Structure 1
């Protein structure tokens, strides 16, 4: 396993990736080992809100993201508040995965946990053992370290372009590639 594909990084879809599930996607990688990999697409917002998938009332319309094409009937979350959410797993510096969901709902309704401190996902992106490494060798993904502030503060619509621009150099140019170069 390469150092660049460890957990806690952003996987940025190369500009001409033809898989519609991952076109212009940025995935936050939560697990990566020889047994497989798991992450969440952080920049594909759905038309659903948290209140649409829960029976309980949540005080605010918190958007749901499409975490990936696997098990779209599951709900996951990333956050930056381990002080409020017990049982969280720190994946990268200041970025936590999961935790006690009952506490999350209570904290949201008590206005202690702010919507900009948490992202919810339906489904996830998954790879079997060796599959992500093969995709990396095929240059399907560009890898960069994940950043907590960038993850939670960047608007999903701009995320793919902004993360590339932030990387600078040749990646700044890639950020401006059209989706279909034939239309240029």
Structure 2
């Protein structure tokens, strides 16, 4: 098996859960690291749909019937968004080529209402995944996560949530492609 080179976690990387991780919050999850520094790390689970819709959460978008993802178990009373393509919202942070996190939400709403936003390029999340100082590094040393540096922003938005974990591993190539085919329960193999 190829070793996943030890790379310090940094924003713009994907964390892909190892095949047999049993934590219900992170089974077969793909997390986009939005921030990582000496104080800790912050990311969004990209492939866990919630039962909520944007119209259920925000009065100003009560006409928008769009799915919302669970970004993680922390502060599920917060809303976050990412998008791909060109930067369209002031204050967005570029995490990878053509992949942006956050920005001015009021500007997003105004641009959407004016027809200048393509929702196919946006994902919304309630909550986030967070690690205190050193916690993520510890989990990486325990091989809980596989780090992916080469993000294919388009596949994040075009892959179904059920397929994204496998797609991310396959995109890494080599022995990671083998991991993509591991069953959730090896006794069923």
Shorter chain as denominator, the TM-score bin is: over 0.9
Moved more, 24-33 or 138-147: 138-147
Q: Which residue of 1 aligns with 2:71?
A: 67
- Determine which of 18, 23, 27 is the counterpart of 1:14: 18
Q: Which residue of 2 aligns with 1:99?
A: 103
Gaps of 5+ in 1: none
Query: Which deviations, in whole Å up to 9, do the C-alpha atoms of 1:24-55 show, x marking residues without a partner?
Result: 00000011112100000001111211111011
Q: Which residue of 2 aligns with 1:151?
A: 156
Cα distance, 1:59 vs structure 2 = 4.7
The alignment yields a C-alpha RMSD, in angstroms, of 1.6
Instruction: Tell me the TM-score normalized by structure 2.
Output: 0.90
Q: Which residue of 2 aligns with 1:119?
A: 123
The 1:42–1:176 alpha-carbon spacing in structure 2 relative to 1, beyond 3 Å, is same
Cα distance, 1:117 vs structure 2 = 1.2
Alignment of 1:123-138 (within 5 A): 123-138=127-142
Query: Does structure 1 conserve the Cα–Cα contact (< 8 Å) formed by 2:8 and 2:137?
Result: no
Cα distance, 1:72 vs structure 2 = 0.5
Instruction: Tell me the TM-score normalized by structure 1.
Output: 0.93
Cα distance, 1:13 vs structure 2 = 0.3
How many pairs were matched up? 183
Q: Distance in 1 between matches of 2:95 and 2:58?
A: 26
Cα distance, 1:106 vs structure 2 = 1.9
SS in 1 for 2:175: helix
Cα distance, 1:129 vs structure 2 = 0.2
Q: Distance in 1 between matches of 2:116 and 2:85?
A: 10
Cα distance, 1:149 vs structure 2 = 1.7
Cα distance, 1:156 vs structure 2 = 1.6
